[in-house]
């Protein structure tokens, strides 16, 4: 039987099964597609498409996409008709995959059904570089078809070993993809072992060869000085899509306490930057397998991205020097970048050098390096806090801070900057106000993390402490997601709150993928000057576009106090890298509602301006926000317009806003009651969070009661203002 006939028989077999009534399906629909087909197609399409040739790549990617979508449809199907429809799509994709694989000129045939296994390869198999793959057709007897994948890293086996193992079916035919990584250059003899359920393993020798390497010398220059500078560099193999670590690429894993993504390979949460970059502190010289490569160079959002295609040839050296150009220099207008949320251990000079190289590579001038705590322990240890423990290199500063207290299921995560010692008392862990007060007593700044998504029930503690003016800032931009619902709620209650952002690496992609700019105006940069400006609310956050914004002459964070109504002049500009962010949209937001917007009409022009006047009215907050055509965004801290004797709140939404805060207070009472009930029933075990919540419940409920009194007072103020506002309107 030839390969075409066997493929047709397999397709007819699938059709018979899928058209059976009732349709039989396994857990999560997995039985409706050939076992392992989805993962197999993904690995082939992403990493080893070269086995089929460039001309087959697009079809392979389409098959991979269709198989995954069919599997998702099967998983979601709730009746036989839906399952048959999804299965039909899977049949077509699976048959196309089988045709492609059986026609592959590199397919290695292994027959395990005979008394003596046979292997149809003659001579060494050429691998394009130090990574590649072997594609096997393993025949065990029978009609079924399955797929298997495995990866063998030749740098990992202990001792002298080249044993690579593959799991294959006990019967039928298995198409197995064996990825090979870190192959030695030259000739290698592999021992490939095929393992079948209930049967002895079969081990066969196979020789592979790799071509001699080439050599790459790479230098990145600062556009400011023309001298070598730290940068984020990507070396991406066009052969298999893998990203290589540059010779001097910094491995941050040990500094990340095995948290988040504990690796120096960082893929930014920004458009077009899904593939990883490595931080390099300076020039490097390394060998690379021959072939086509993409070089990427980044130096933060104020610089243009550089991508270059090169070909490495065996035995030859190629040298490249790159100087990413600035499309903007915010320092010249007094704005200096920061990241309020960077996790990383600093216990040695080497630790400090690594993180300093990273913020310089991303052009972040101040990074809040946070020691993290939970109710059990701390992470990302620091040598100390305060001025003596800042790491300063010219106009770049690492400043130790903290992310603590932090609760996931109770009341959210907090941040602190510019502290002189860590504030942490697990016996009073749920009393966030005590931490905020202690941070302020040290001259520091306190805030909340993850406000953009509102995760970890952070609204509960915000309800207690934002109206009490205990909190300075809120992260409204993270992972390139701008989220303002909670932020606007508290602004609309007449509460001042500075807009901030932080990358949250190692959970985030890279330092500075989102950043907060503080306006120092004409003051020279220093950590103290940056914190002073931030403390005044002179900030905007961004993952791409830049914003200039003034109300009269007031900057973000400023207050305009008025005794009577008058016109306010609003001037704003938003702009971005024309190669990435066109067009740019700019909006002026008052009390959460857009009062004026504009968008650059020219697709090649990444700049838009607004200049208009509005009535001051009876008080409000006004901010600017922007969005780039690439999906990046920016938002300023508001300018607060305050009429004498009135709050700047949004009067027509107060009932709704108060109701939300009432709901948050009720949730606090509920979680305390639940913790106490479970504790009394002896059901908390080692759950220290809820045990402590039960113990600290009275003190937390005291704060709930105080908050209720505060909101009642605000309601009375609102009633009094309604009369006054009615007279003035």
Domain for residue 617, yes or no? yes
Residues 645 and 660 in one domain: no
Q: Is residue 39 part of a domain?
A: yes
How much is the average pLDDT of 151-172?
A: 89
Q: What angle do CA 402, 408, 413 make, to 5 degrees?
A: 30
* Per-residue tokens: 141: 């007897």
The answer, yes or no, to whether residue 341 has pLDDT greater than 50, is: yes
- The predicted model scores a pTM of 0.89
Could you tell me if residue 279 is inside a domain? yes
pLDDT of residue 431: 98
How confident is the model at residue 148, as a pLDDT?
96
Mean per-residue pLDDT over the chain, rounded: 93
| pLDDT of 261 above 90 | yes
pLDDT of residue 160: 77
Q: Are residues 84 and 130 in the same domain?
A: no
Task: Give tens-digit pLDDT for 526-547.
Answer: 999 999 999 999 999 999 999 9
pLDDT at 326 over 60: yes
Structure tokens at 556: 């973000």
Answer yes or no: is 25 within a domain: yes
Q: How confident is the model at residue 32 (pLDDT cuts 50, 70, 90)?
A: low
The tens digit of pLDDT for each residue in 216-246 reads 999 999 999 999 999 999 999 998 888 999 9
Residue 13 confidence (pLDDT) above 80: no
H or E segment to which residue 349 belongs:
helix 349-361
Answer whether residue 15 shows pLDDT above 50.
no
The pLDDT value recorded for residue 493 is: 98
For 499, half-sphere exposure in the C-beta direction (CA atoms, 13 angstrom radius) is: 35
pLDDT band at 332 (very low <50, low <70, confident <90, very high): very high
More confident residue, 88 or 516: 516
Q: Which domain holds residue 672?
A: 652-728
Whether the per-residue pLDDT at 28 is higher than 70: the answer is no
Residue 414 lies in a domain: no
Residues 94 and 114 both lie in one domain: no
574 pLDDT above the threshold of 60: yes
The whole-number average pLDDT for the span 51-68 is: 94
Instruction: Report whether pLDDT(706) > 50.
Output: yes
Identify the H or E element spanning 195: strand 186-195
Q: State the average pLDDT over residues 42-57.
A: 93
User: Do 205 and 112 have their domain in common?
Assistant: yes
If asked whether residues 74 and 151 sit together in one domain, one would say no
Cis bond before residue 612 (omega within 30° of 0): no
Q: Which of 476, 636, 469, 445 is nearest to 558 (CA)?
A: 636
> pLDDT tens for residues 143-155?
899 999 999 999 8
My answer on whether 625 and 663 are in the same domain is no
- Position 241 scores a pLDDT of 87
What was the pLDDT predicted at 206? 93
506: cis peptide before it, omega within 30°?
A: yes
Q: Express as a percent the part of the chain with pLDDT over 90.
A: 88
CATH number at residue 599: 2.60.40.10
Give the rounded percent of residues in the chain with a pLDDT score beyond 70: 95
pLDDT surpassing 80 at residue 6: no
What is residue 729's predicted lDDT score, i.e. its pLDDT? 38
| Residues 682 and 603 both lie in one domain | no
What pLDDT does residue 727 have? 46
Query: What is the tally of helices (H) and strands (E) in the chain?
Result: 12, 39
Domain membership flag for residue 135: yes
Say whether pLDDT at 586 is over 50: yes
pLDDT surpassing 60 at residue 377: yes
Burial class from Cβ neighbours inside 10 Å (0-12, 13-18, 19+) for residue 165 reads middle
- Shared domain check, 152 and 89: no
Across the range 239-263, mean pLDDT stands at 95
pLDDT reported for residue 26: 41
For residue 12 the two structure tokens come to 């007819």
**pLDDT for 306 beyond 50:** yes
Total domain count, the chain: 5
What's the CA gap between 314 and 309, in Å, rounded?
A: 17
Do residues 678 and 621 share a domain? Answer: no
Q: Which of 607, 623, 649 is the last residue of a domain?
A: 649
Which residues have a Cβ under 8 Å from the Cβ of 197 and sit 6 or more positions away?
A: 169, 170
Examine the domain organization and report whether 232 and 198 are in the same domain. Answer: no
Residue 584 has pLDDT above 60, yes or no: yes
Domain boundary among 649, 665, 699: 649
DSSP 226-253: SSB--EEEEEEETTT--EEPPTT----G
Question: Which of 334-338, 347-351, 605-609 is least confident?
Answer: 605-609
20/51 same-domain check = yes
Q: Is residue 659 part of a domain?
A: yes
Position 117 scores a pLDDT of 87
Q: Is residue 380 part of a domain?
A: no
pLDDT of residue 481: 98
Query: How many Å apart are CA 104 and CA 89, to the nearest integer?
Result: 23
Give residue 66's pLDDT band: very low, low, confident or very high (50, 70, 90): very high
Residue 601's pLDDT band, with cuts at 50, 70 and 90, is confident
Q: Domain check: are 175 and 257 in the same one?
A: no
pLDDT confidence of residue 239: 87
Residue 663, token pair as written in the block: 């709901």
DSSP assignment of 479-524 equals TTEE--HHHHHHHHTT---EEEE---BTTSSSTTSSEEEEE-TTSP
Range of lowest pLDDT (205-214, 411-420, 597-606, 632-641): 597-606
Tokens, residue 462: 């915000």
- Other beta carbons within 10 angstroms of residue 695's beta carbon come to 16
Residue 24 has pLDDT above 50, yes or no: no
Beta strands in 274-433 (DSSP E): 278-280, 284-288, 291-298, 306-312, 317-322, 335-343, 366-373, 378-379, 391-393, 396-403, 406-407, 412-417
Higher pLDDT, 57 or 30: 57
Residue that finishes a domain, picked among 85, 102, 119? 102
| 120 pLDDT tier (thresholds 50, 70, 90) | confident
């Amino acid at each position: 039987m030839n390969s075409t006939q066997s493929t047709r028989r397999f397709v007819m077999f699938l059709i018979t099964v899928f058209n059976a009534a009732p349709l039989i399906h396994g857990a999560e629909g997995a039985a409706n597609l050939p076992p392992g087909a989805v993962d197999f197609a993904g690995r082939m399409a992403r990493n080893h498409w070269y086995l089929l040739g460039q001309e087959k790549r697009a079809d392979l990617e389409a098959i991979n996409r269709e198989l995954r979508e069919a599997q998702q449809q099967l998983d979601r199907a709730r009746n036989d008709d839906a399952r048959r429809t999804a299965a039909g799509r899977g049949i077509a994709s699976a048959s196309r995959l089988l045709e492609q694989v059986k026609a592959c000129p590199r397919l290695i045939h292994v027959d395990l059904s005979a008394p003596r296994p046979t292997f149809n390869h003659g001579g060494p198999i050429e691998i394009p570089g130090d990574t590649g793959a072997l594609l096997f057709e393993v025949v065990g007897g029978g009609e079924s078809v399955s797929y298997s994948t495995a990866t063998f890293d030749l740098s990992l086996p202990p001792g002298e070993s080249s044993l690579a193992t593959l799991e294959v079916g006990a019967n039928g035919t298995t198409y197995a993809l064996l990825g090979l990584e870190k192959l030695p250059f030259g000739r290698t003899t592999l021992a490939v072992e095929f393992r079948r359920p209930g049967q002895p393993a079969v081990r066969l020798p196979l020789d592979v060869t790799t071509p001699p390497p080439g050599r790459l010398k790479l230098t990145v220059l600062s556009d400011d000085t023309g001298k070598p500078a730290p940068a984020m560099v990507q070396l991406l193999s066009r052969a298999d899509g893998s990203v290589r670590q540059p010779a001097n690429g910094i491995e941050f894993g040990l500094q990340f306490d095995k948290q988040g993504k504990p690796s120096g390979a960082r893929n930014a949460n920004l458009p077009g930057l899904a593939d990883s970059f490595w931080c390099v502190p300076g020039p490097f010289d390394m060998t690379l397998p021959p072939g086509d490569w993409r070089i990427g160079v980044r130096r933060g959002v104020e610089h243009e991205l550089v991508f270059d295609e090169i070909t490495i040839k065996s035995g030859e050296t190629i040298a490249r020097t790159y100087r990413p150009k600035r499309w903007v220099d915010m320092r010249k207008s007094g704005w200096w970048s920061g990241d309020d949320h960077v996790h990383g251990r600093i216990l040695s000079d080497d630790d400090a050098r690594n993180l300093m190289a990273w913020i310089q590579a991303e052009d972040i001038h101040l990074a809040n390096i946070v020691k993290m705590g939970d109710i059990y322990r701390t992470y990302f240890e620091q040598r100390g806090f305060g001025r003596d423990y800042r790491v300063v290199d010219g106009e770049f500063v690492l400043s130790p801070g903290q992310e603590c207290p932090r609760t996931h299921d109770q009341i959210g995560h907090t941040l602190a900057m510019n502290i002189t010692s860590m504030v942490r008392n697990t016996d009073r862990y749920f009393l966030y106000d005590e931490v905020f007060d202690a941070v302020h007593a040290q001259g520091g700044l306190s805030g909340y993390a993850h406000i953009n998504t509102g995760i970890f029930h952070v609204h509960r503690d915000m309800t207690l402490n934002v109206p009490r003016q205990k909190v300075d800032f809120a992260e409204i931009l993270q992972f390139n997601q701008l989220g303002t619902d909670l932020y606007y709620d508290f602004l609309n209650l007449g509460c001042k709150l500075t807009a901030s952002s932080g990358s949250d690496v190692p959970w985030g992609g890279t330092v500075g993928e989102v950043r907060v700019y503080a306006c120092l105006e004409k003051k020279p940069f220093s950590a103290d000057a940056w914190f002073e400006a931030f403390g005044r609310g002179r900030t905007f956050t961004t993952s791409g576009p830049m914003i200039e914004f003034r109300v009269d002459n007031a900057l973000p964070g400023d207050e305009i106090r008025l005794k009577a109504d008058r016109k306010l002049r609003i001037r704003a500009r938003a702009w971005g890298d024309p190669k990435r962010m066109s067009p740019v949209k700019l909006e002026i937001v008052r009390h959460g509602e857009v009062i004026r917007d504009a968008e650059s009409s020219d697709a090649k022009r990444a700049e838009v301006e607004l200049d208009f006047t509005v009535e001051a009215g009876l008080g409000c907050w006004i901010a600017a926000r922007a969005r780039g055509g690439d999906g990046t965004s920016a938002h300023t801290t508001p300018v607060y317009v305050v009429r004498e004797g009135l709050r700047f709140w949004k009067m027509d939404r107060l009932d709704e806003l108060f109701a939300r805060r009432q709901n948050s207070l009720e949730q606090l009472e509920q979680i305390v009651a639940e913790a106490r009930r479970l504790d009394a029933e002896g059901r908390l075990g080692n759950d220290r969070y809820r045990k402590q919540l039960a113990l600290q419940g009275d003190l937390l409920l005291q704060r709930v009661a105080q908050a209720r009194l505060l909101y009642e007072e605000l309601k009375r103020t609102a009633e009094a203002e309604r009369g006054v506002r009615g007279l003035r309107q």
